[in-house]
Amino acid sequence: MQGLIGVTRIYWKHAAILLATGFLFQLLLATGFLFQLAALHSGAQDKPKRPRITGIDHVRLYVKDVDKSREFYKSIMGLPERGGCIGHTGACFTIVWDRRQAIELEPARSSEIKNWLAEIAFATDDATQMRRYLADHGVKCGSIEHKYSSAHFRVADPEGNVIGFVERNASAIDDPPPPAPNQVGTRFLHAGFVVKDGLDWYELQVPDGDNWIEYMLNIPSTADHKALGAQNHFSFGVREIQAAAEQLRKNGAGKIAGPGIGRDGKRGLNVYDPDDTRLEITEFTPAREPCCHPYTAAHPTP
User: What ranges do the domains of the chain cover?
Assistant: 15-38+51-170+178-283
- Torsion 251-113-25-202 (CA) sign: positive
Distance (Å) of CA 179 to CA 74, 106, 256: 12, 24, 22
What's the distance, CA 208 to chain centroid?
15
pLDDT of amino acid 59: 95
Distance (Å) of CA 287 to CA 103, 179, 266, 283: 28, 25, 5, 9
pLDDT tens digits, one per residue of 145-170? 998 788 999 999 888 899 999 998 75
pLDDT of amino acid 2: 37
pTM of the complete model beyond 0.75: yes
pLDDT of amino acid 13: 28
Pick the closest to residue 11 from 268, 216, 293, 266 (CA basis): 293
pLDDT tens digits, one per residue of 195-241? 887 766 678 899 999 999 999 988 898 999 899 999 999 999 999 99
Pick the closest to residue 24 from 114, 127, 141, 123 (CA basis): 141
pLDDT tier at 173 (50, 70, 90 boundaries)? Answer: low
Under a CB-based contact definition with an 8 Å cutoff, are residues 162 and 117 in contact? no
Fold of 15-38+51-170+178-283: 2,3-Dihydroxybiphenyl 1,2-Dioxygenase; domain 1 (3.10.180)
Under a CB-based contact definition with an 8 Å cutoff, are residues 3 and 269 in contact? no
What are the counts of helices (DSSP H) followed by strands (DSSP E) for the chain? 7, 15
